């Protein structure tokens, strides 16, 4: 036998680390993704509403009302409802004026388009998984189609990673005429104690105070909570708004991407009592909405154009 001086080395089998998993509920109502490190997200196809986002240790980071309706008969109270194409009650004499409050995206059944994920080798742990959901004008109810008769396509991408949860909205004008829209990620974050929670990153910025009849509020270094808060901060120069939890330490950073506005909301005692699906009634003590959006004025999209915006919520747990 000839002895070759440069023998090929033995081939070692490639070792792959565990990969992200996706589970679709038996009744096809939800899609759940989980990373090997333990992070998890669940999305309800009704409204493409994110119902749950858990940190690696299993801690729930979103607040979902115990009275939330999940059967598709009404929008979900809690999680991350998607507001489109109008924020709040529609204005009179506008193309959205016949739509319900907050539009139709959160009330429509979305299509699950599939997943894509990184394939981490044994030397890395950069696993992430992206779930895509679609809503198209042809799938709207006859009532919604009549109220807003534009041809459009929406793709909502929910990406779970060790860094956090990214939610991105892509709007495509598939018609022959321009339309205007607003969009908001109406995110309910779970907190330990709202009376000891602060929101930073909005220092010195003017805001529309909806508790005070939509008048201009007085800027403050931080947002604190001792009663109902409903504020719309617009044209924010910095990209990050942070939540400090009861211990005063950073809890969650909300990083906006092509979204210039932020809504901060907590209903407090009386408003919570008046919402039938807000349960328990003292649940306001453990939630705060910090909502990234484009809600000041309107975004105009010409025929054939595409717009994209969203946020990354980064947990410090």
Could you tell me the CA-to-CA distances from 208 to 18, 45, 212, 235, 261 in Å, in that order?
48, 32, 9, 12, 11
Our answer to whether residue 316 is catalytic in this structure is: no
Query: Rounded CA gap, 25 and 189, in Å?
Result: 24
The answer to whether the annotation marks 101 as part of a ligand binding site is yes
User: Which residue of the set 177, 186, 302, 308 is catalytic?
Assistant: 186
Residue 159's DSSP bridge partners are 130, 166
The answer to whether the annotation marks 106 as part of a ligand binding site is yes
User: Which residue of the set 40, 94, 291, 296 is catalytic?
Assistant: 291
Grouping H, G, I as helix, E, B as strand and the rest as coil, residue 243 is: strand
Could you tell me the CA-to-CA distances from 219 to 206, 228, 262, 309 in Å, in that order?
5, 17, 14, 26
Strand stretches in the chain, DSSP E? 21-24, 30-34, 40-44, 49-54, 82-83, 111-117, 128-136, 152-161, 165-173, 179-185, 188-190, 198-200, 207-209, 215-217, 229-233, 240-244, 250-257, 261-266, 287-301, 306-315
Our answer to whether residue 186 is catalytic in this structure is: yes
Query: Rounded CA gap, 241 and 202, in Å?
Result: 7
Binding residues: 77, 101, 106
Query: Per the annotation, where are the binding residues for substrate?
Result: 77, 101, 106
Q: Which positions are catalytic?
A: 186, 291
């Amino acid at each position: 036998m000839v002895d070759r001086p440069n023998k090929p080395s033995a081939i070692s089998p490639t070792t792959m680390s565990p990969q992200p998993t996706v589970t679709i509920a038996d009744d096809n109502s939800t899609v759940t993704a989980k990373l090997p490190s333990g992070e998890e997200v669940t999305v309800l196809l009704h409204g493409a509403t994110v119902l749950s986002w858990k940190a690696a240790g299993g801690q729930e980071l979103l607040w979902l009302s115990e009275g939330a309706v999940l059967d598709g008969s009404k929008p979900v109270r809690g999680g991350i409802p998607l507001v489109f194409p109008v924020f709040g009650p529609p204005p009179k004499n506008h193309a959205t004026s016949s739509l319900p409050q907050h539009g139709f995206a959160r009330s429509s059944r979305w299509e699950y388009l599939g997943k894509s994920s990184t394939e981490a080798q044994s030397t890395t742990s950069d696993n992430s998984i992206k779930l895509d959901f679609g809503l198209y004008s042809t799938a709207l109810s006859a009532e919604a189609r009549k109220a807003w008769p534009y041809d459009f396509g929406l793709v909502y991408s929910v990406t779970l990673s060790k860094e956090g949860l990214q939610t991105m909205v892509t709007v495509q004008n598939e018609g022959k005429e321009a339309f205007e829209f607003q969009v908001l990620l109406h995110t309910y974050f779970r907190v330990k104690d709202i009376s000891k929670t602060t929101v930073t990153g909005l220092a010195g910025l003017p805001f529309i105070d909806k508790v005070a009849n939509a008048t201009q509020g007085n800027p403050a270094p931080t947002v604190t909570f001792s009663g109902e808060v409903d504020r719309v901060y617009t044209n924010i120069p910095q990209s990050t708004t942070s939540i400090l939890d009861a211990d005063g330490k950073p809890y969650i950073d909300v990083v906006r991407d092509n979204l210039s506005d932020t809504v901060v909301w907590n209903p407090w005692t009386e408003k919570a009592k008046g919402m039938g699906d807000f349960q328990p009634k003292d649940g306001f003590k453990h939630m705060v909405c910090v909502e990234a959006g484009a809600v000041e004025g309107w975004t105009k999209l010409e025929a054939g154009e595409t717009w994209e915006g969203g946020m990354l919520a980064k947990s410090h747990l």
